[in-house]
Amino acid sequence: MVLNQATLKRDGVQDYVSLRTTALVIAAYAVFIVGYLLLTPELTYEAWQGLFSNLAVKAATIVTLVCIMVHTRIGLWQVLTDYVKCSTMRSVLGFVLNLMALAYVAIGLFVLWGV
């Protein structure tokens, strides 16, 4: 059996590990944000801007946005291949939904670095 490590094709194990890893990153970020909301006595615009002007929070937000995109991409692929039988419709839906995921990351970056 020949294994080509340079291929762009995924396998089930890689999808499984990617989904679990991205889910952990997303959950950790959500816990951080919820903790911040609960522990901040008075949530004002200045406090919120101060949080997101921190470089570490910006980096964590970027990592989380990319993880959301990867998680969405794998999940969409799984759902579309299971439930959309027409290959043309599956391709069009996959393209549009992946484009939307990329747009969300781009908009998130634009908003994040605007602070």
Annotated binding residues for heme, written as ranges, equal 71
User: What is the amino acid identity at position 66?
Assistant: V
The binding site consists of 71, 83
- Written as six digits, the tokens of 1 are 């059996």
- Written as six digits, the tokens of 25 are 């990153």
> How many angstroms separate the CA atoms of 19 and 70, rounded?
8
The binding site for a ubiquinone consists of 83
> How many angstroms separate the CA atoms of 66 and 104, rounded?
10
